Structure 1
Amino acid sequence: MNAVRPLRRLLQMPPRGARQLTTTPPNPYRNRRRLKAEPESYTTPPPTPYTSGEISKLSKYYTNDQVASLLEGESAIDPAHFHNRRRQPDHDPMKLQYFDDLSTLDPILDSPWGPQIYTPGHPLQPLPRLDHLLTLSASSSTATASSATSDPPWMREVSLKTGFSVAEIRRLRTKILVSHSVVNQTRMGKIRKIYCLSVAGNGNGLVGIGEGKSVEHSEAQRMATYMAIRNMMPVPRYEDRTIFGNLDIKVGAVELKLFSRPPGFGLRTSQYIFEIAKCLGLSDLSAKVSRSRNPMNVCKATIQALRSQKLPETIARGRGKKLVDVRKVYYNGAV
């Protein structure tokens, strides 16, 4: 043993299995070290020789040879070193003041780990991944190969990048929201192009917007639709019909406010927010746009507000609370 923890400490340990229970909360400042240390309060009485009973108790932890070597080692140390050493404080001010068992994971407070499994209606469900779209197997039928070659090239490219099949991409709801001409002044003169902003969604929690610019109007629409499908992201919905609480956001000079509404309220918004809500799958929503009503910024503000929702489960987990939706659990959404 060393001078910091002598062999006598084993004799002062409580019996194994015993606990010192008390209802008095610990005082973190009980044994706080003072600025000017007092040597008398940190000294211990000089040790006394071991008795035969104490040596027999030490035999429970060590063999006879180990006890003899430990006693020889302690006898080689001057007892004054034990007498003048500083006693270790009983309270650690940096110790975690937790009463819970930190070796187990709490289902609410602790973040889940490992592979996440979401239900089909969950807003964070992963996009469906079809392996046969990435590499066409040699065993595919002739009809499938002929239909794949007849699809537009941009649809096949979107299918490879997103994981959706061409049939699923055709079933997506798309809409051109903004379309106007723009002019770029260069040294060669004025170059006129067509600008388009499109929205795409599956009506079940996925929505995205995209922009496209080209000389031809059809090409600009295709580019905008292509980018909107690629930019689709999941958006949380409350009861698959409205948003989680009211949202307030500012993009540029546009100040947008979205309000969650009860069932049967409908969509009472502007035409741009209406189309975005339809592509997302919202049925009860109202909005108010103040100051600027630029169509492009209104669309961008709506998407940014929908993606910045704070879920009640996340807020409850951060506060260490347990959240129960009364309407869903007790009334099954009937009230």
Structure 2
Amino acid sequence: MSQATQSRTGGPGGQGRGGGGQRRPRREPEEEVWIPKTILGKKVAAGEITSIEDIISQGLRIQEAGIIKKLLPDLKSEVVDVGIIQKMTSNGQSTRFKAIVAAGNENGYLGIGQGKSKQMRIAIEKATNQAMLNVNPIKLGCGSWECRCDQKHSVPFKIKGKGGSVTIEIIPAPRGLGLVAGGKIKRLLELAGLKDAWTTAKGSTPTMNSTSKAILACLRQTFSQG
């Protein structure tokens, strides 16, 4: 093998450039440190407020996603739906992306948010931040007359909520039945912490913007009325 060939291949072993073919270690994204900016955020960071229920009982408004991350470190976020918004302007066709994200800990908390941007990644980030700010506590229980147990596997009573043209009703079910619901509706209920329930839906349920609002309106009633 000639010297020119060896220089291109990195030597007789053919390891290539970069010191024997070793790849650079992938840098993990650094977690952003939350610096509270509001009075409520400073109280949460100082440990004066330790639950979302305390915030709601005092009638305070959550304006920082860091508050939710601090109080609910086990919160998960999932992209529920994405789409494209196209609009004709004087400069031509404008294209934007929209995303709907749900945040829940599968144990009594759920929030849903929507974001729009010219970039999909930014739209998802906006929706995730909005979902964090919209997190609400949900009262779980067993409202089924067939079960009558003391475990928190369903809703405590029948609830109905509306979002746009969509109306959703959630009915308590006995333990072991599972969630009788469509794919995306079922996943939202799982994020909220429900394990057993019957559901009925009316309207244009493929429109996830209205459907997610209807589900959140349903589940909010368990805390406000329970």
TM-score band by shorter chain is 0.5 to 0.7
Q: Say which one has the larger Rg.
A: 1
What is the correspondence of 1:241-256 to structure 2 with a 5 Å cutoff?
241-256=153-168
The answer to whether the 8 Å contact 1:193/1:215 transfers is yes
Within the candidate set 290, 296, 302, 2:209 is matched to 296
Amino acid at match of 1:281: G
CA RMSD of aligned residues (A): 2.5
Q: CA deviation at 1:311?
A: 7.2
What is the correspondence of 1:62-141 to structure 2 with a 5 Å cutoff?
129-131=44-46
The answer to whether the 8 Å contact 1:130/1:163 transfers is no
SS in 2 for 1:178: strand
The answer to whether 1:274 aligns with 2:189 is no
Q: CA deviation at 1:309?
A: 3.2
TM-score (norm. length: structure 1): 0.43
Number of residue pairs matched?
159
The answer to whether the 8 Å contact 2:163/2:212 transfers is no
Q: State the distance in 1 between where 2:193 and 2:69 align.
A: 21
SS in 1 for 2:198: strand
Q: State the distance in 1 between where 2:166 and 2:211 align.
A: 7
Residue aligning to 2:123: 220
Residue aligning to 1:305: 218
**Greater RCO (CA < 8 Å, at least 6 residues apart):** 2
Q: State the distance in 2 between where 1:236 and 1:277 align.
A: 13
List per-residue Cα deviations over 1:112-165 (Å, max 9, x = no partner): xxxxxxxxxxxxxxx993328xxxxxxxxxxxxxxxxxxxxxxxx632x43617
The answer to whether the 8 Å contact 1:257/1:287 transfers is yes
List per-residue Cα deviations over 1:164-219 (Å, max 9, x = no partner): 17xx54x4221111101011332222210110000001222111001111111111
Amino acid at match of 1:283: K
List per-residue Cα deviations over 1:222-274 (Å, max 9, x = no partner): 11111111211111111321112222333322122211101111112112221
SS in 2 for 1:244: coil
SS in 2 for 1:164: helix
Q: 1:249 to 1:229 in 2, by over 3 A?
A: closer
The answer to whether the 8 Å contact 1:205/1:280 transfers is yes
Residue aligning to 1:240: 152
Q: 1:163 to 1:177 in 2, by over 3 A?
A: closer
The answer to whether the 8 Å contact 1:259/1:285 transfers is yes
Q: State the distance in 2 between where 1:193 and 1:310 align.
A: 36
Residue aligning to 2:38: none
The answer to whether the 8 Å contact 2:113/2:130 transfers is yes
Deviates more, 1:250-259 or 1:262-271: 250-259
Within the candidate set 112, 117, 120, 1:209 is matched to 112
The answer to whether the 8 Å contact 1:203/1:279 transfers is yes
Q: State the distance in 1 between where 2:69 and 2:97 align.
A: 30
Structure with bigger strand share is 2
SS in 2 for 1:130: helix
Q: Which runs of 5+ in 1 are unaligned?
A: 1-126, 133-156, 315-335
Amino acid at match of 1:179: V
SS in 1 for 2:129: helix
Residue aligning to 1:164: 70
The answer to whether the 8 Å contact 2:83/2:99 transfers is yes
TM-score (norm. length: structure 2): 0.63
